[in-house]
Amino acid sequence: MAGAGEAVVVSQSTHVLPLEFNRRYPVIVRGEGVWVEDASGKRYLDAMSGGSMAATLGHGRRDIIAAARVQAEKLAYVHNERLTNPLQEQLAHELAGVAPTGFTRVRFVTGGAEANEMAIQIARRYHVDRGDSKRWQVISPAQAYHGPTMATLALTGRPGLQRPFEPYMPVHPHIPPSTWRFDPTGEQALQALDRALETVGPENVSAYFCEPISAAALPAYSPPKRFWEGLAERRERHGFLICFDEIVTGIGRTGHWFAAESLPIVPDIIATAKGLGAGYAAVGAVLCRQHVYDAIAGGSRKFTLGHTWDGAPLSCAVGLKVIDVLKKEGLVDRVRDRGPKLRDQLADALEGVPLVHEVRGRGFLLGVEYVDPRDGKSFLPPELRTAGRVDDIAFEQGLITYSTMPTRDGFSGDQTLFAPPFTSTDAELDEMVSRFAGAVRHAAKELETKLEPRPV
Ligand SMILES: Cc1ncc(COP(=O)(O)O)c(C=O)c1O
C-alpha cells in the first residue's frame, strides 16, 4: 500500500485522489512541538502550523489529547438540532468572553468554508427577518480565499480559482486590494466599492465580506485605515452588514483573540475555525453581534440549517481545552509581543535580497512578497515558479513554508506565508528564520541564472 513505510507518495502510487497530480507528497508520520517527521525519519521545522495554519499549539500536546479522550469516553457525540450538551454551551460562553465586545451569540460548525457560508446565511436571515428580502449580494475583495465550496469560492474574484466552476457560482462584485502597487491610500478601493454598490444597487447588498488581515491570498495584508473608515461610513449609509473571515486570524494568530480588535471598525459577524481546534479537532464557529441576533429573534425565530458535527461534545471539548491552554500559557500575549520582533528578524535576514520587496507581519502571521529584481516592482514571470522554488528548497533544508503564485489573477505575485505555532521557542523561531532566509537566498541565486537581462 502506498504511503505505508514510503517517504513520498506520487499520484500513480496511491488510491488517494491527490490535490495536484504532478506533486510528490512527503508522508509525515509523527509530530512533536514544532517538528514533524517523515516516514524515512527526516525531521522538518513546521513554520506553517501543520501546513494550513491550524496547528497553532504545535503537535503532540498530551493535555489536549487527554481532554479529547476524557470527553470521548463520557459522550463523544450528540446532534445539536434537538439536543444540546455542556461542552457546546461552555465553548459558546468562552468564545463570547474573548470575542470583541457585543458578540453575544455563537453557532458551531466544523470548518472554515462552512463558517463563512453560515455567516452569509446569517446575514441574509438578518435582512429577510427585518423584511428587507431583496438583499443578497455580497461585495468582497478580489484577492482573497474564503474556502472551496461554491458559495465561498464566489466570494473571491480570482479567475484562476473560479473559472472551472463558474456555472455553479452566484455572481458577486469584487474590489481590488489596496496594496503599495495599486492603491496605497485605500481611496481607489473605496471608489471601487461605490461603483459596486451602484452597479448592483445598495438596496440589494447583504454584506461586505473580507479577511480583516489576509492569510494565504495576500499574507499579512490589511487595507489602510482610510478604507476601514470609508467602509464603516458606507455600512451606516446603506444598511449592509460587515462579515469578517477570521478562519485564520481568529483565536490568537495576529496577537489578538480576533483581528477585529486591532482594526478601526467593528464587524457584525465573525467566522472562525482553524485555531479553535488547533489541529486536534475539526471545529469552527460563527459569532454575531446582539443586533443581528435580535433581528432573527424578532423575526422568524429560527436559523435551522446546520451540519452533522456542529457543536458535538468531542470537538467542543477540544475547543475548550485550546482556549484554556492559550489563556494559561499567555500565548495570545506572547504572539502579540514576539510578532514584531519575528517580523524584524525575517526582514533583517532577507536584507539586501533584491527579489524581496516587502516583509509584512501581524503577530505570527507573516508574509514575504517577491518582485522581479530587474526593476524592483514587477510581478515575476509565473513560469519560473520562483516562490514555489522557495518552498522546495526550504523543504529540502527541513523547513515547511507555504508559497503561492497567483500572478495570473492580476492582484498579487509570488509570495510566501510564514505562520509558526504560537508555542515556538525563541531558538526554534531563530532556526526557522535562518533556514527560510537560506532558502530565499538560494532561490534568488537560481533566479539570476534564469532571468534575461533587460535592455537599459
Ligand atoms: C482565510 C480562509 N478562509 C477560509 C478558509 C477555508 O477553511 P476550510 O479549509 O476549513 O474550509 C481558509 C482555508 O485555508 C482560509 O485560509
pLDDT digit string, tens, across residues 185-243: 999 999 999 999 999 999 999 999 999 999 999 999 999 999 999 999 999 999 999 99
Ligand 1 centroid–CA 335 distance in Å is 21
pLDDT digit string, tens, across residues 349-383: 999 999 999 999 999 999 999 999 999 999 999 99
Ligand 1 centroid–CA 246 distance in Å is 9
Q: Which of 145, 156, 270, 276 to mutate to test the pocket of ligand 1 (most atoms within 8 A of CB)?
A: 145
Report which protein residue has its CA nearest ligand 1's atom 14.
Answer: 52
| 122 residue type, one letter | I
Ligand 1 centroid–CA 112 distance in Å is 5
Q: How far is CA 267 from the centre of its chain?
A: 17
169 phi, psi to nearest 5 deg: -100, 135
Please give all residues whose beta carbon lies within 6 A of any atom in ligand 1, as ranges.
52, 111-113, 116, 145-147, 211, 215-216, 245, 247-248, 273
Q: Which residue has the cell 508559497?
A: 403
Q: Are 187 and 226 in contact (CB under 8 A)?
A: yes
Residues of the chain with pLDDT under 70: 1-4, 455-456
The reported pLDDT for the residue numbered 455 is: 62
The reported pLDDT for the residue numbered 7 is: 85
Q: Which residue has the cell 489596496?
A: 178
Q: Are 312 and 320 in contact (CB under 8 A)?
A: no
The reported pLDDT for the residue numbered 453 is: 81
The reported pLDDT for the residue numbered 456 is: 58
| 256 residue type, one letter | H
- SS3 label, residue 4: coil
| Position in ligand 1 atom list of the atom nearest CA 147 | 6
The reported pLDDT for the residue numbered 303 is: 95
29 phi, psi to nearest 5 deg: -110, -25
Ligand 1 centroid–CA 1 distance in Å is 31
- SS3 label, residue 49: helix
Looking at the DSSP bridge assignments, the partners of residue 418 are 366
Ligand 1 centroid–CA 146 distance in Å is 5
Q: Are 73 and 65 in contact (CB under 8 A)?
A: no
Pairing of strands 137-141, 205-210: parallel
The reported pLDDT for the residue numbered 452 is: 85
Q: Which of 146, 152, 243 to mutate to test the pocket of ligand 1 (most atoms within 8 A of CB)?
A: 146
Q: Are 126 and 292 in contact (CB under 8 A)?
A: yes
User: Going from the N-terminus, what domains does the chain have, and what CATH number goes with each?
Assistant: 8-60+330-450 (3.90.1150.10), 75-328 (3.40.640.10)
Ligand 1 centroid–CA 278 distance in Å is 13
| Position in ligand 1 atom list of the atom nearest CA 144 | 1
Ligand 1 centroid–CA 438 distance in Å is 29
Q: Which residues of 385-397 are buried (b: 16+ CB within 10 A; e: fewer)?
A: bbbbbbbbbbeee
Kindly list the strands in the beta sheet with 365-370, ordered across the sheet, starting from the edge strand earlier in the chain: 356-362, 365-370, 415-418, 402-404
Ligand 1 centroid–CA 239 distance in Å is 27
Q: Which of 48, 153, 248 to mutate to test the pocket of ligand 1 (most atoms within 8 A of CB)?
A: 248
CB hemisphere CA count around 115 (13 angstroms) = 31
The reported pLDDT for the residue numbered 2 is: 56
pLDDT digit string, tens, across residues 69-78: 999 999 999 9
Ligand 1 centroid–CA 448 distance in Å is 35
Q: How far is CA 56 from the centre of its chain?
A: 12
Residue 242 contacts by C-beta under 8 Å, 6 or more apart in sequence? Answer: 207, 208, 210, 231, 232, 235, 265, 267, 268, 269
Task: Dihedral sign for Cα 167, 168, 170, 173, please.
Answer: negative
324 phi, psi to nearest 5 deg: -60, -45
Report which protein residue has its CA nearest ligand 1's atom 8.
Answer: 112
| Position in ligand 1 atom list of the atom nearest CA 214 | 1
The continuous run of DSSP H or E covering 210 comes out as strand 205-210
Q: Are 276 and 243 in contact (CB under 8 A)?
A: no
Residue 226 contacts by C-beta under 8 Å, 6 or more apart in sequence? Answer: 185, 186, 187, 190
The reported pLDDT for the residue numbered 4 is: 59
Counts for the chain of helices (H) and strands (E), in that order: 13, 17
